[in-house]
Chains A and B, each alone.
Chain A
Amino acid sequence: MLDQSFNREIPGESLTAEMGSRPWQQPPELTTVDEAAEYYISRIASDDFAKNLIHTMKTGVPLTVIANSVQLAGVMEGKHSADVGILMLPVIMETMMLIGDSANVDYDTGMKPDAALSQDNIAADTISRMADNVSDEEVIPEVPVESMEPVQEEPPVGLMARRS
């Protein structure tokens, strides 16, 4: 079986295409947040998108993940720059929530703090692990230090030896 960890992009592969040949390397189509918001709101409110969105919401995919994917796709298609994409996130999220509430669908916003990853839990987990390590540490038996006897140096011999 092929190891999936090797089935990835080669480092620097993104730099092999000619500069300017990718859509995101071109000047963006929508330069202001107003234009970008209009584009996204009209797109999300379209029947096809809303239908698919409601279906995805029902499967339990967090809205934060969908919103990020939507704005990243916009950057990739050269619709807007990355910073406009980041600023669009709250608008995309809220529009999607508006559609979800209008359709009376239960959805996961993805905004709730992750219990497994909250800072307090990480700290508590680390402390307990450290405490376990301390108690589990092997007690190293003390090695008796042998008394060192002074080594007597032999008197130098030879032509260049200093005479005492």
Chain B
Amino acid sequence: MITNPTKQVVAAFDALPEIKERKKKSTGSGMMAPLLKKSMPSNNKMEKEPAFIVAKMYQRIKRDRMQIKEARNNA
């Protein structure tokens, strides 16, 4: 029997909180610059996970779709 997991997978991704774009740390100037560069590496290990990438992609497409829908409703 072929099962369809789409509903569960999409519902799970839908339930995730919105992932906001991170601001890049300004480490180029200032007194703390040398310290920040060395001891504060950006914690981007999670961001390289496939599920995280997909979640970000999904939310971006959804945002675009909502904008199209909104524009259509306003027109």
The 0/1 profile, CB within 8 Å of A marked 1, for residues 1-41 of chain B is: 01011110111011000000000000000000000000000
Interface residues of A in 66-80 (CB under 8 A from B): 67-68, 72
- Cα of A97 to Cα of B9 in the assembled complex, Å: 16
**A interface, over-half SS:** helix
With A90-B58, A91-B57 in contact, do A68 and B11 touch (Cβ < 8 Å)? no
Asked if A53 CB lies within 8 Å of chain B CBs, one says no
Asked whether B10 lies within 8 Å of A64 as measured between CB atoms, the reply is yes
- The answer to whether B65 touches A94, judged by C-beta atoms less than 8 angstroms apart, is yes
A133 within 8 A of B: no
If A86-B9, A111-B11 touch, whether A97 touches B72 (CB-CB below 8 Å) is no
- Asked if residues B65 and A87 are in contact (CB atoms below 8 Å), the reply is no
- Chain A 90-115: CB-based contact to B (< 8 A → 1; otherwise 0): 11011101100110100000110000
Known: A33-B50, A33-B53, A89-B5. A94 touches B72 (CB 8 A): no
CA distance A101 to B55 in the complex (A): 21
Cβ B4 vs Cβ A65 within 8 A: yes
How many inter-chain contacts with C-beta < 8 Å in the A-B complex?
64
Measured between beta carbons, the chain B residues less than 8 angstroms from A97 are 65
Q: List the A side residues contacting B69 at CB < 8 Å.
A: 101
Contact B6 A37 (CB under 8 A): no
Contact B50 A94 (CB under 8 A): no
Find out whether the CB atom of B13 lies under 8 angstroms from the CB atom of A90.
yes
Which of A91, A93, A101 is the one whose CB lies under 8 Å from B72?
A101
Min distance, Cβ A97 to any Cβ of chain B, angstroms = 6
Q: Are A93 and B54 within 8 A (Cβ)?
A: no
- One digit per residue, 1 when the CB lies within 8 angstroms of any chain B CB and 0 when it does not, for chain A 1-32 equals 00000000000000000000000000000001
Known: A110-B7, A111-B11. A101 touches B65 (CB 8 A): yes
